Structure 1
Amino acid sequence: MLKAAELGATTSVADLFVRVVWEGCLPLDLRAQLNLRLVSQSLRHLVTPQISALRANMLTCILNTAHFPGLGALDLSGSHPLEVTDCRLQQISVLTNLTVLNLQECRLVTEEGLSTLVALPALAKLSLRGCQQISHEAMGVVACLTALTSLDLERCAQLSDDSFRCLTPLTGLTDLNLDGCSQLHDVGLGAIAALSRLRRLRLKGCTEVMDAGVQLLCFLTPLTHLDLSGCWQTTDEGIAALGGLTALTHLDITGCRHLTDAGLRELALLSKLTVLHLAECSHLTDQGTQVLFGFPRLTHLDLRGCVRLSDSALQPLQDLVYLNLSGCAPVTIGWRRVLEPLTGLTELHLEDCVQVRGTFLHLLS
């Protein structure tokens, strides 16, 4: 990895140069531009992370794509929003080897700019996270990018169920992020459920999703990661449908506050789970958490705000490295015998466990 300020030292090893990362608000002077051009024939990855004020001459040089014929990954996330526009994206369309494009928080990009990306036959990973101008029409363009395997639409708040229906041609998708897409309903989720190769699906904060939509996810048997946190309208009926997703290793149902012991027991076959978030599922009791003992690979468990659990809820879970019991009011000194066997535990949260004595915390140190 090489910083822009170090470009002057690269000209003698240009054949080995594969990556430039801009850090901070560095001006790209004429000398740096010249050096960048000298090494550009071997450049494969160009990253500009978290720059709050990317200067115009820097972006002009970066997007002068004639300099970078072999560029495979371009990260413009965090660039100044006034600089990355539809006109700028037109310059990217000649990068026919591009496989990764990150436009996160490029808030002026619209479907007009995205339409130029159809000239990128190898594009496999695209992030439009936080691109507030992305609308339904833009999804028609995205649907033409049939080589996509990863798509990030987090906080693209204009997208509706009709927008998500447009994604059905993307049959190669394995990773889809729809966090914060507040207009996603069960109908739209039905279209997502047709993407049969999905392995990672994020629906955090999709508050209009209900049981009927979650039940359709049962067809996504390759899923290994599923995030339904904040989908508060989901009940036992919807959660029970996840019991057949036996490939799951990561499941987050934080805030599914209608979940009860009966629904949790329906997940008993998810024996590959390593990470499970049940925070704010306040109806769960010790009887429901008995199902956790059937998850031998579980290393991360979040029970924050599960206010009905007692000291006997976790006794056999000896492989945990992360445990969050914050807000579990019934937690007492009796948890000492539960926690002592957890020799691999590296992170423990007990905030607002009002009955835990100071002497107990001393024993944990």
Structure 2
Amino acid sequence: MTSEVKQQPLAIDVDLPEECWELIFYLLLDHHRHFESLSLVSKHFLVITNQLRTTLTVSDQTTPFLPRLLRRFQHLRNLDFCGFHGDLESILCLIAKSKLDLEALNISNQKNLHLNGLHILGSNMKNLKSLYCSKVSFLQDIHLFVIAASFPRLEELDISYPEHKNIFSSTGSNDSGTFSGPVTDLGVSELSSRLNNLIKIDLSDELLISIVEACLPLNKLILARCHGFTFAGLLLLLSKYHSLSLISIEGMNFLTDQNINELSKFFSKLTSINLGLCSKLTNSTFFTLTRNCPLLNEINMERTNLGKEECPTKFVVNPQVKSLNLAQNGKLSNESIKKFVAICPNLQVLNLSSCRGITEEGFEEIFKRCSEIRHLEINYFSAITDFEIDSEVSKLEKLSAKGSGLNDEALAMVGKRSCRLSILDLAGCLNVTEKGVKEVVKNCRGLREINLKWCDNVNIDIVAWMVITRPSLRKIIPPCGFVPTESQMKLFLSHGCCVCEG
């Protein structure tokens, strides 16, 4: 006698507290952009992911939706307006009324900082700890006075690269119809005397001695492209601050390998260093840093003199280093890059743009040794058309290959081996056709942005196909000549994708 047993659907209780769901989401996802797919599962997940988002980047295109976004994401702690070019004062007032409790605000790349807007914001954002005002055209001492008075808990302030244009304006940077001059020691002194919690200040003026005498509790120092001081002054400053975690001394052409070797004895707490445009530094500096800085996480040696000398046969592996920017080092060879990636096996970010001495052999060694790479820049490698990617490499999320010689076969390899790819920049890749693009779009299910500008051999008809085929796409820069109609734009936006004009 036989009997049939009907299998009932397995019921799973998923009624977990929100704290548990939040912990699960944090463990599974390492970036807020991944929250979008979860928010579509249910209203419950939508509410949870809204609460988890803490960072928002605002551009000119997203400004009309800002009031709605500020209401939706009520736990935002970090707002970035460095790509915004509109009326900043109204934006600051809007943020001030939002009831957010911000910790960091980036308002860099602005023509002007309105004093009234800063004051209103400071009156409502008493817990703001980081304020970034880099590359502000008319930054003056009076702005520093208002910042010092309005943000008493400020710990980080970036006022680097002010243009100091000496002009008069009825709506000028001090809102009084007069010009009060650029940033001086007086403004910096006001910051140091009123902001007792200041641990980082980014400057581009000749103030080394003033900083030493001020005895600020600094742990980060940026003196990028400063002039008017010598190695002796830099040595004096760094000998005063042994606990610095970040140092940027970009553009110090007088620095030598021996100088860095001498300074490195003060780098025991260093996690990030920027030596870009220090043209006398060679491979020796790289080996000194990786050997003497056990906590070092990020190295920038863009446009230095890497590759000039031979690499030593013995070296010390530094598993802490996660990011290397070695762009525009034309002498860098396969031999050098093989040693570098052997020293830094846990690399996640690597920029080798315009390092034309590296061939397919060097790239294959990179993929073989560095299985953790997530962000790779190989812009302007016109001689490289194809390369092999080891099967273990599956964590690549961003690939920038502008102006490179990559062909369809290389793109097919990327699509096959890098299923987590979310950002792909192929601007100016003349060997790429729609065949290679289709391989990437079909295989990379999380692809969010793709740039095909100046890809003259890619048919513009592929744009609509990409939007329909890959629902995850949020931004497409199409080949030149593509001008979407109004109905097409509505169709693309209904799919959640912004398509720019080619």
TM class by shorter chain equals: 0.7 to 0.9
Corresponding residue for residue 344 of structure 1: 472
Q: What residue in structure 2 maps to residue 56 of structure 1?
A: 184
1:158 is aligned to 280
Q: Does 1:330 align with 2:457?
A: yes
In the alignment, which of 94, 100, 107 is matched to residue 220 of structure 2?
Answer: 100
Per-residue displacement from partner, 1:72-97 (whole Å, max 9, x unpaired)? 21221xx3x4xx144334325x33x3
Question: Are the counterparts in 2 of residues 46 and 75 from structure 1 also a CA contact under 8 Å?
Answer: yes
Is 1:300 matched with 2:411? Answer: no
SS across alignment from 1:171:
coil
Conserved? CA contact 2:148–2:190, under 8 Å: no
Residue deviations 1:82-122, cap 9 Å, x none?
xx144334325x33x32111112222343212212122122
Q: Which TM-score applies when normalising by structure 2?
A: 0.59
- Partner of residue 249, structure 1: 374
Shift of 1:20: 6.7
8 Å CA contact retained: 1:186, 1:209: yes
Unmatched segments (≥5 aa) in structure 2: 1-103, 106-112, 165-181, 493-498
Q: 1:136 to 1:292 in 2, by over 3 A?
A: same
Counterparts of 1:51-200 in structure 2 under 5 Å? 51-53=162-164, 54-59=182-187, 61-62=189-190, 70-76=197-203, 79=204, 81=205, 84-91=206-213, 94-95=215-216, 97-116=217-236, 117-144=238-265, 145-167=267-289, 168-181=291-304, 183-185=305-307, 187=309, 194-200=317-323
Aligned to 1:26: 140
How many residue pairs are counted as aligned between the two chains? 348
Give 1:71's aligned amino acid: L
Q: 1:267 to 1:110 in 2, by over 3 A?
A: farther
Q: Secondary structure at the match of 1:251?
A: strand
Distance (whole Å) between structure 2 residues aligned to residue 162 and residue 216 of structure 1: 12
Q: 1:258 to 1:27 in 2, by over 3 A?
A: closer
Moved more, 324-333 or 270-279: 324-333
Q: 1:193 to 1:250 in 2, by over 3 A?
A: farther
Give the distance between the partners of 1:347 and 1:184, measured in 2 at CA: 36
Distance 1:36 1:284, change over 3 A: closer
Give deviations 1:19-42, integer Å, cap 9, x for gaps: 67776433349x949x959997x6
Does the 8 Å contact 1:186/1:210 carry over to 2?
no
Q: CA RMSD in A?
A: 4.0
Cross-structure match for 1:236: 360
**Comparing 237-246 and 328-337, the one that deviates more:** 328-337
User: Which protein shows a greater Rg?
Assistant: 2
Measured against aligned partners, the alpha-carbon deviations of 1:188-245 in whole angstroms (never above 9, x if no partner) come to 7779984431101111111111111111233222111111111112111100011131
Correspondence for 1:44: 155
More deviation, 123-132/244-253: 123-132
What is the TM-score of this pair, normalised by structure 1? 0.78
| Between 229-238 and 111-120, the greater mean CA deviation after superposition | 111-120
8 Å contact from structure 2 (residues 123, 150) kept in 1:
no
